[in-house]
Chains A and B, each alone.
Chain A
Amino acid sequence: MLEIRDLHASINGKEILKGINLTVKTGEVHAIMGPNGSGKSTLSNVLVGHPAYEVTRGSVTFNGKNLLEMSPEDRSHEGLFLSFQYPVEIPGVSMVNFMRTAVNEKRKYLGLEPLNASEFLKLMREKRAVVELDNKLANRSVNEGFSGGEKKRNEIFQMAMLEPKLSILDETDSGLDIDALRIVAEGVNKLKTSETSCIVITHYQRLLDYIKPDIVHVLYKGRIVKTAGPELALELEERGYDWIKAENNG
């Protein structure tokens, strides 16, 4: 599904990613862990085409297509979704209007007729249930006045609406209490099929108690320095990152 080869990227002239190699197959869940400043968020931003980042070398193919040539919106239409670490507020734009525009833009890209109002509202109702999102939130402006937990839940709700092939969850667990964490993680699990893949970016094991990864990577100083099974996450939880740092600084 996703094939990253020797990816280098920088922001404001400073190189952050220094040669990432990563292959995500259909149906897999990958966890990317690592200490602060290792380049985890940069990787997710580069994949979805954030204009602040510059790719200086390497390639990314997504279902056979050159991802780096696509506009951010086309990457979305092709099935790439990012659950933002810090979802922005868009005052005045209702969630209904926002999602309807997003869903119909994707349908247009796929050559489908736009959903009419009643079809759309039915879809909203179904998908809200996945993350137990309150109807009141769905009628508010995008993320405006939402608590941290509500914002993250809203991200997963949007993921449910857009039915992506590959979802990147960027520190979705940060700022969540244990109940919110459970709801969000259960939402992600409900949406997971054998046809979809997921990259979970996190500092901590606790999210991985709910979302079971097939493969765990450790990102450090812009490179993937360790790749193993789920047991690696447990080891990191126990031992911290210092031994990784020591191995790579030596």
Chain B
Amino acid sequence: MSTSSQDNASAYWAENLRIIITYLAVWFVVSFVAGILFVDQLNAIPFFGFPLGFWIAQQGAIFVYVALIWMYVISMNKLDEKYDVHE
């Protein structure tokens, strides 16, 4: 168990969950809503020579994943400092 109090730990966990849920919501919308469910509608929009839906499904989503992980890393490092649970 860490040195922090019980309350501190639960507040840290609650905020951690909020961060994860936010990022995973973006992950879901990009991959499944834009890349799969509405890909045909998005394909009607041109995007630098690609149909937009096709581009998101084959390339765009991957760039978003990289960005999401690094934003998560930054958010969590800040959160660890805030609750003084960093290593």
Q: Are A and B a genuine interacting pair, yes or no? A: no
